């Protein structure tokens, strides 16, 4: 095990990390996009992005795109490289505001968090479409870990914290249980070669209807490329 520092809330840090990783000339068989914040007060990343959207979504969008070439070189016909992105059931109530992705007009911690998680699902589906169109031996899937007892809830209202403290043993998954579907997506032979799936409790399930809107997927992808400063070569693909 080797640790390399990467701050997903910093585009500069992500690019530095990718340079360090590439310098090692290592293959990359599994990429898990799992960083996140939830219900934080209105604030911005160092790049000026609303924190939920900047860290939860744009950080992973940039990281994945910068590592795509390595992933494509690492995958084979019999053993695809795998991209697993961790979303949330919150995406079912999320709305994507393409004209206000930074929530400048009206900020709601719940709305901003749900939007970032919906964006991750849209991103995964569009990414899989592009990987398939290019004939790449890479799959992209999105995971819902469920309600997990972690420090992610530190910004919720104090009453919710008390209820969580009293009931976590009954209703919340342990971190190990919460990680099980991500691990399943990363290593299980059952999903070898299968991409564009929404997985919950180690099973494929249906995501929000809006997540299957291919036009919305394309528009989000194009706008995301502009925001993080990378070429949108995908816009030329169907």
In this prediction, what percent of the chain has a pLDDT beyond 90? 73
User: What sign does the CA torsion over 160, 52, 222, 21 have?
Assistant: negative
Write down the pTM of the prediction.
Answer: 0.88
- Rounded to 5 degrees, what angle do the CA atoms 229, 232, 234 make? 150
Helices (H) and strands (E) counted in the chain, each on its own, are 7, 5
What separation, in Å, do the N-terminal and C-terminal C-alpha atoms of the chain show? Answer: 40
Q: Are 109 and 213 in contact (CB under 8 A)?
A: no
Cβ-based neighbour number of residue 92 at 10 Å: 18
Which whole number is the average pLDDT over 94-116? 92
- Parallel, antiparallel, or unpaired for β 198-200 and 203-205? antiparallel
Q: pLDDT at residue 195 above 90?
A: yes
Q: Are 41 and 113 in contact (CB under 8 A)?
A: no
Beta partners for residue 85, in sequence order = 33, 142
| pLDDT of 162 | 43
| pLDDT of 180 | 85
Q: pLDDT at residue 94 above 60?
A: yes
Q: Are 75 and 29 in contact (CB under 8 A)?
A: yes
Q: Are 49 and 109 in contact (CB under 8 A)?
A: no
Domain ranges of the chain: 11-235
Residue-wise pLDDT tens digits, 20-60: 999 999 999 999 999 888 878 899 999 999 999 999 999 99
Which whole number is the average pLDDT over 185-200? 96
Separation between Cα atoms, residue 73 and residue 49, nearest integer Å: 32
Residue-wise pLDDT tens digits, 113-160: 999 999 999 999 999 999 999 999 999 999 988 664 555 545 454 344
Quote the tokens at residue 160: 């919710």
**Band of residue 231 on the pLDDT scale cut at 50, 70, 90:** confident
**DSSP 3-state assignment of 174?**
coil
In this prediction, what percent of the chain has a pLDDT beyond 70? 85
Q: pLDDT at residue 184 above 50?
A: yes
Q: pLDDT at residue 69 above 80?
A: yes
- Which residues are designated catalytic? 113
Distance of CA 3 to the CA centre of its chain: 20
Enumerate residues 6+ apart whose C-beta is below 8 A from 207.
91, 92, 121, 142, 198
The DSSP H or E segment spanning 30 is strand 30-33
CATH code reported for the domain at 11-235 = 3.40.50.720
Longest dimension (CA), the chain: 53
């Amino acid at each position: 095990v080797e640790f390399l520092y990467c701050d997903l809330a910093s585009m500069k840090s992500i690019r530095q990390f990718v340079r360090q990783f590439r310098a090692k000339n290592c293959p990359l068989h599994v990429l898990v996009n799992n960083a996140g914040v939830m219900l934080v007060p209105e604030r911005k990343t160092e790049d000026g992005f609303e924190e939920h959207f900047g860290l939860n979504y744009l950080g992973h969008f940039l990281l994945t795109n910068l590592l795509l070439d390595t992933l494509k070189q690492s995958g084979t016909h019999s053993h695809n490289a795998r991209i697993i992105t961790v979303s949330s059931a919150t995406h079912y109530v999320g709305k994507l505001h393409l004209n206000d992705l930074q929530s400048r007009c009206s900020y709601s911690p719940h709305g901003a968090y749900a939007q970032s998680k919906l964006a991750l699902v849209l991103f995964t589906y569009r990414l899989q479409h592009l990987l398939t169109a290019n004939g790449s031996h890479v799959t992209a899937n999105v995971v819902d870990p469920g309600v997990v007892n972690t420090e992610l809830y530190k910004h919720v209202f104090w009453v919710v914290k008390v209820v969580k403290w009293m009931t976590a043993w009954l209703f919340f998954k342990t971190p190990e249980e919460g990680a099980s579907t991500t691990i399943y997506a990363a290593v299980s032979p059952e999903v070898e070669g299968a991409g564009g799936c929404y997985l919950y409790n180690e099973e494929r399930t249906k995501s929000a209807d809006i997540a299957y809107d291919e036009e919305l997927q394309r528009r989000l992808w194009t706008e995301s490329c502009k925001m993080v400063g990378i070429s949108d070569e995908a816009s030329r693909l169907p």
